[in-house]
Amino acid sequence: MAKKTIKTGILSFGMSGTLFHAPFLYGHPGFELTAVVERSKKSAHISYPNITSYDTVDQLIADDDIDLVVVNTPNYTHFEFALKALKAKKHVLVEKPFCVGSSEAKELFAVAKKVGRRILPYQNRRYDSDFLSVKKVLESGKLGSLVEAHMRYDRYRHHIGPKVAKETPVPGSGLMYDLGPHLLDAAMALFGYPLEWSKHTGQFRPKTQVDDYAHIHLLYPKGVQVFITMSMLVVQPQAAFVLNGTKGTFVKSRTDIQEQQLLTGMSPSDPLFGLEEADKYGVLTTIGGEGEKQIEKIQSAKASYLNLFEDVYKCLVEGVPYPISEKDIILQLGILEG
């Protein structure tokens, strides 16, 4: 018996659609990349000759052939478009942030249950080499008991960007909502749910209307401290992950290898896709029996967002629980909005 094919439509064909969704939907045998919304420039057919290009979101959602809708539009539109897709009896995959507030998220999950469809969060950074390396080291026990963890997104962009949805004070704009979902999801996936948290934001670029610096401090059981930081004004990026335990320290840079490779046109089916170079490997430093430092390079796991779409497929077709839970998202948004 042939496996079910999930016919999928993408609501936007900018960077997110062209890099993070289309190549994987096209390359995964369980999906058929059926349609896309292109409001002005019509370019999807160049890479995907059989794709249908709609002018509006409503047209794509009204397509009876489509089983799954990818909501990858500006943050403040996620709730409206996801709700429309659910009411049209589509499954939905939503880019981060899932929506702007936890009450919106609760409504979307409730509607999904009511109409018998699934709404899933697209948290792709769980499928990156750096995250997978940290997870492997944590699970190895080589760090001993965790004491603290620092996780960062560092960029340098002194100018105000052109994207209205990110740079003007509309719901879901600013750095906290842009990068916070990645870091909060990583923290929950690695360490579970925090007991309490505090957060701070800053505005440092000239004439900025939104936060361009954000910091969240999460407190975990047994006194474990987790610090997550996002900044648009770091000229020399720091390590993306620093974990300190009672027996060792692990330091890992952020490499975004999949994004870099996709930008060069590399296919996810390429044998080298998702493989980090050795100079990007994380460094684990532990103390030996004689008190001497032992330094070990941890080879990065091969990563692919195809694994995310495999998890989406298994959830929709086989009923396998999806790795990012409803509870994860409700808490994440509660922290972002609180």
Give me 41's structure tokens: 């420039």
pLDDT(119) > 90: yes
- Mean pLDDT in residue range 213-225: 97
- Mean pLDDT in residue range 221-239: 97
Distances (CA, A) of 259 to 43, 96, 238: 20, 16, 19
How many Cα atoms occupy the beta-carbon half-sphere of 272 within 13 Å?
Answer: 8
**What was the pLDDT predicted at 65?**
97
Tens digit of each residue's pLDDT (9 = 90 or more) over 28-84 = 999 999 999 999 899 999 999 999 999 999 999 999 999 999 999 999 999 999 999
Q: Where in the chain is the domain with CATH 3.30.360.10?
A: 126-303
Q: Among 18-27, 162-171, 188-197, 267-276, which stretch is predicted with the lowest mean pLDDT?
A: 162-171
Average pLDDT, the chain: 96
Distance CA 97, CA 174 (A): 12
**What was the pLDDT predicted at 289?**
82
Q: Where in the chain is the domain with CATH 3.40.50.720?
A: 6-123+307-324
Tens digit of each residue's pLDDT (9 = 90 or more) over 282-323 = 999 999 888 899 999 999 999 999 999 999 999 999 999 999
Residues 194 and 226 sit within 8 Å (Cβ to Cβ): yes
pTM for this predicted structure: 0.96
Residue 140: pLDDT band with limits 50, 70, 90:
very high
- Mean pLDDT in residue range 117-125: 98
Residues 227 and 215 sit within 8 Å (Cβ to Cβ): yes
Residue 100 main-chain phi, psi, to 5 deg? -90, -30
Give me 59's structure tokens: 């047209």
**What was the pLDDT predicted at 291?**
86
Residues 225 and 219 sit within 8 Å (Cβ to Cβ): yes
Distance CA 254, CA 102 (A): 29
Residue 1: pLDDT band with limits 50, 70, 90:
very low
144: alpha, beta or left? (left if phi > 0; alpha if psi -120 to 50): left
Which three-class secondary structure string do you get for the chain?
A: CCCCCEEEEECCCCHHHHHHHHHHHHHCCCEEEEEEECCCCCCHHHHCCCCEEECCHHHHHCCCCCCEEEECCCHHHHHHHHHHHHHCCCEEEEECCCCCCHHHHHHHHHHHHHHCCCEEEECHHHHCHHHHHHHHHHHHCCCCCEEEEEEEEECECCCCCCCHHHHCCCCCCCHHHHHHHHHHHHHHHHHCCCCEEEEEEECCCCCCCCCCEEEEEEECHHHCEEEEEEECECCCCCCCEEEEECCEEEEECCCCHHHHHHHCCCCCCCCCCCCCCHHHCEEEEEECCCCCEEEEEECCCCCCCHHHHHHHHHHHHHCCCCCCCHHHHHHHHHHHHC
Pairing outcome for strands 248-252 and 241-245: antiparallel
**What was the pLDDT predicted at 73?**
97
The CATH number of the structural domain formed by 126-303 is 3.30.360.10
Using a pLDDT cut of 90, give the percent of the chain over it. 94
Tell which CATH classification among 2.130.10.10, 3.20.20.120, 3.40.50.720, 3.40.980.10 matches the domain 6-123+307-324: 3.40.50.720
**What was the pLDDT predicted at 170?**
93
**What was the pLDDT predicted at 123?**
98
Give me 8's structure tokens: 């999928």
pLDDT(206) > 60: yes
